[in-house]
Chain A
Amino acid sequence: MLTGRGFWFLLWSSEVALLGVLVIARYAPTVPIFALTLVSWFVAEWIWFQIRTSSAQGRIAIERHILQGERELPTLWAGVDCTVRITIRLKGGPSLPFVSLADKLPVGQHIREGHRRTVTRLKAGEPVVLEYKIHPAAPGVVRFEGIELRTADLCGFFYRRSFFRIPTEYLVLPPLMDDDGTQRANKRFNTLPPPGVHRIRRAGSGTELLHLRDYLPGDPPKTIAWKASARKDKLITKELESDVPVRLILFLDASNSTRLGTAGKTPLAKLAGIGAGVLQAAAGNRDLIGLTVFDSREAKVQKPARTRLHTMQLLRTFAETAGRQAEGTETDPATLQRHAYSLAQDLYPDLLEKRLNSRPFGLFWIPLLDTRFKWILLVPLIWQILMWKAGIFNSVVEATNKILDPRSLAGWSVIAKVAIYLSVLLTLMMIPTILTGVYWFLFGIRGFLPPRSRDLSKRKQLATLFAARDGDSPASIERCIHDDEFFGEKASRFLVEHHHQPPPKLFEKDGRYRFRCPEKIPVLAAALVRSVGMARDNELYVVLADLVELTDDLEPLLKAIRAACGRHHQVLVLLPWPDDVPPPPDPREPAEPLKRKKRITLGSVIQTSLVEGYHRKYDVLRLKLVRAGASVVRVNAADPVRLILARLDRIRGAGIRR
């Protein structure tokens, strides 16, 4: 690519060369010699630059290492600094004297230390190392796209930008917690069963005595209570309590409503962090933990277990779920195109080049025949019919006679007279055809005018890129061009894959919230009922879900909660709370006196109204869920992990409080 500096130098030196060779050489041969030397230098620089960049194209090797604590890891841990080390080598060939190398930072990450960009020279045998530290704060997925290489010649005449795509995704597992760190510190019950079990008043093979009864034939001798038998003078058998494991099932909401927000700060990431904290603490107690991840379409169940492998699998699930991107946040094809094109320019500059991704002339022409105005092309035909049927031909001849005055052609030869007469006659006859042709031309040529040509060009480039990436047929390119919905789907998928999200439109034009996701309620209810059906004992169900906007659609969930509570299970609902919404006022505390604001703006009025509406919905939701038998907690109200663990302890110690 020629830079501005190169363009101006080429222009001036070529002009001097042109003038020198044509004119000035006669007076001062030094001028053309000087100019020809300059042009030769420029051409040689161009050739040399092309050789350098083309030969480097297949010779650059890039290695990326992610280190945590000086150890290379396949996955990362949230809350722990990790070092990204990239080594770039040139494997032979001419060196690149002036390059800028930059690693594309994953979305949502910031550099804590080090550098992700360097300007240097790249030479075979002299690797360049980029090293920086990032701090993944929340669980999810971190995606490294690759390395950007910008190179220029030493004089700044030529420039080339390329991107080495090495997409690598790393799971960021939830932060590891110390078992003691998240468990209760105070002792709630005097006698606790061993970790991982709780008692149930049912005969079993535990260690605690349930009751005594008369001996029945067939009872094992070891169950005979000898002291009691001696006192009663008959054989008495002791029955022991059952020791059953404590089970905790987490229901994690991964619907679109929880995926909104910047990477790592979504409600889903927060919920996944809480779930992971509970998981690790409960696993430390050897409790059985299960997980159900649900969204608007389906629920994925992982059965309760307490092995270390199971814990790791659940952590991975939490990380993968937290890394899911919101889909369909933007449906306007123009907006999607703008974002997708910008991203494609960043990551796929080579695939947008004209030599690979053509924009032919015919792409922009608007064919009249494909529109509803094609009847215009019938005008010449109708005109011909009228000429013959309505006698217009005679009128045309008469008009020609009037136009051409015989006296004005007096000095002309016969052939010239005939030629002039026929040309005027034909012009008059063909005027409708000519006008139709002009209309056809103007109709079609509009396609070359901006903004249509610009937008269509971008759409075609993106469509070809999508088709090549997804392995689609070339027909999908045309479909992308003419079908906004299809293009929107493709562009959304492209953006989601690269962790880029256009700013979401939260509300429809009629004021409805776009991300309510009411379909998730039946899915959650079905998953809850299924868990109740498979439960063997009193269990704790923790629902981590965003339900505030769904107060009118809760009926299936309420039924499922009632069914769970009817089977003596406990249900705890944890609601994510938006950061920009203050917590609802506590009814026990006296209301603050009204303060007169100095200035009331429209924004503050709207915000107040939205906050009050949210509080109202939350109150309704809480009332409905509590009436159904569930407990409701806001995520930011207290330490939810401790709360859940306390509830587990209560279940574990339930058999003791007699």
Chain B
Amino acid sequence: MSRESDGIEKPDAKPNPYRELIANPAARTYLMIAGGGLLVTILTMFLIGSPIASALLLIVGLCGLFLRWTAMPAVFVLLLSYLAFAPLGLPFDFSSFSEIPGSHFRFLDGILVGSALVYLIGQYRLLSVVHIGMPFDANKFFVKPGAKATVRPAESPRDSELWLLFARVGLFVLAGQLLWLAITYLRVDFDRVPPLSVAEPTDGYRRYGAPADEFYISDYASRFVLASGIFLAVALAARFAFWYWGLLLLGRDQARMIVVDVQWSEDRREMSRQEKWRGWQKGRILGKAREKFGCGGWFLAIGLPLVLLFLFLIVLCCSGGIRL
């Protein structure tokens, strides 16, 4: 449990980031986890046949772990994806297609994805421990120089957290494979209700990428629609569930706020005009010119004469003053 007497503390004179990585038990643990994940990822890429990829990923991973470069996880994701697509660095051969229908539950894929996920989880948790765990409430332009960011306390992660981490990684690797299986095994078919059909095994890789039949959407479009649909459905269902849960958990103040706001929304048009005239009359009595919220008088000063000028020109044109 870390404690601060006030919101802002002066940073230490010269913090040593490397010493903190060793001294902080939480940082040490996540460093080990992320390092392990990175090592397995590199080995897997090496086995796939990409020593360049292994070297590049090692550099990126080490920069993220030891130099705390916050962009490195994103670079890692992009680089790994690119090198999985082009192991030698450049996409030389576009004619070699993979067999998409049979591409799920491959051992090396599972290891690679699982180890990369472990690295990413470890890297992000490490950043939460040693760099920043919670954002500042204020906009970054208003954060005082020297303000200390909130980080996770320097306590060893509990055993349950670590076990849960690895269990989750296994679960997500499985979920990813199942998801891929679903969007390749199924196919959008608007001739059916519901508009889904099972992709036939004979539609092997020769059909993949070929022009679509007249009444079928193409395979990649089908995959895209299915993947988007699944994520959207999950997100919408979760959103709806949390919205409803939020209504159940409403406090007294929040409920009152909703009632007042809804009533205002219903009667706003009538009340707005009434209060506007009341405010105008009040300003007249007080002898004040009201300047509400910086409405641009400049606009009227320029826009109105322009409109009048246009009108005048049209009248001139129509009356024969100007020949087109």
Question: Would you call B177 and A33 a contact (CB within 8 A)?
Answer: yes
Q: Looking at the complex, which one of A403, A428, A477 makes contact with B264 (CB distance below 8 Å)?
A: A477
- B287 on the interface (CB 8 Å rule)? no
Residue B16, interface by CB 8 Å: no
Interface readout for A562-575 with B: 1 if CB under 8 Å, 0 if not?
A: 00000000000000
| Option from A39, A152, A432 in Cβ contact (under 8 Å) with B134 | A152
Question: Which A residues are CB-close (under 8 A) to B295?
Answer: 366, 446-447, 452
Closest to B259 in A: A468
Checking A38, A449, A464 against B77 with a beta-carbon cut-off of 8 angstroms, the contacting residue is A38
Which residues of A are found within 8 Å of B300, using beta-carbon distances?
373, 443
- A123–chain B nearest beta-carbon distance, Å: 10
Is there contact, CB below 8 Å, between B4 and A36? no
Q: Is A637 interfacial (CB-CB < 8 Å)?
A: no
Q: Once the chains are docked, how many angstroms separate the CA of A379 from the CA of B85?
A: 65
Contact with B along A106-117 (1 / 0, CB 8 A): 000001001111
Smallest distance from the beta carbon of B252 to chain A beta carbons, Å? 10
Quick one: which of B94, B121, B265, B294 contacts A155, CB cutoff 8 A? B121
Whether B59 sits at the interface, judged by CB under 8 Å, is no
Whether the Cβ atoms of A50 and B5 lie closer than 8 Å is: no
Closest to A436 in B: B307
User: Looking at the complex, which one of A19, A40, A102, A402 makes contact with B176 (CB distance below 8 Å)?
Assistant: A40
B-side contacts of A244, CB under 8 Å: none
Tell me whether B78 is interfacial, beta carbon within 8 Å: yes
Q: Which residue of B lies closest to A118 (CB)?
A: B3
Of A8, A22, A482, the residue contacting B279 (CB under 8 A) is A482
Give the contacting residue for A464; candidates B78, B120, B245, B257; CB below 8 A.
B257
**Contact B253–A30 (Cβ < 8 Å):** no
The residue that B257 contacts in the complex, of A117, A356, A455, with Cβ under 8 A, is A356
Give the residue of B179, B249, B293 whose beta carbon is less than 8 angstroms from that of A452.
B293
Contact A37 B173 (CB under 8 A): yes
B197 lies within 8 A of chain A by Cβ: no
B27 within 8 A of A: no
Nearest 4 CB-CB pairings of A with B: A37-B176, A29-B103, A155-B124, A395-B318
A-B contact sample (5 more), CB < 8 A, given A16-B81, A35-B77 = A3-B134, A37-B176, A54-B249, A351-B253, A468-B257
22 pairs from A and B in contact (CB 8 Å cutoff) = A5-B70, A16-B78, A21-B220, A25-B223, A26-B100, A30-B84, A34-B176, A37-B172, A40-B172, A40-B179, A44-B168, A111-B5, A152-B133, A154-B161, A157-B124, A350-B253, A356-B254, A357-B261, A379-B311, A443-B299, A446-B296, A479-B278
Q: Which A positions have Cβ atoms within 8 angstroms of B?
A: 3-5, 8-9, 12-13, 16-41, 43-44, 46-47, 50, 54, 57-58, 97-98, 100, 102, 111, 114-120, 128, 132, 150, 152, 154-157, 159, 161, 165, 350-351, 355-358, 360, 362-363, 366, 370, 373, 376, 379, 383, 392, 395-396, 398-399, 402-403, 428, 431-432, 435-436, 439, 442-443, 446-447, 449, 451-452, 455-456, 459, 464-465, 467-469, 473-475, 477-479, 481-485
Chain B residues packing against A (C-beta within 8 Å): 1-7, 70, 73-74, 77-78, 80-81, 84-85, 91, 94, 96-98, 100, 103-104, 106, 109, 112-113, 116-117, 120-121, 124-125, 127-128, 132-135, 137, 150-153, 161, 168, 172-173, 175-177, 179-180, 183, 208-209, 220, 223-224, 227, 231, 234-235, 238, 242, 245-246, 249, 251, 253-254, 256-258, 260-261, 263-265, 267-269, 271-276, 278-279, 282, 290, 292-296, 299-300, 303-304, 307, 310-311, 314-315, 317-320, 323-324
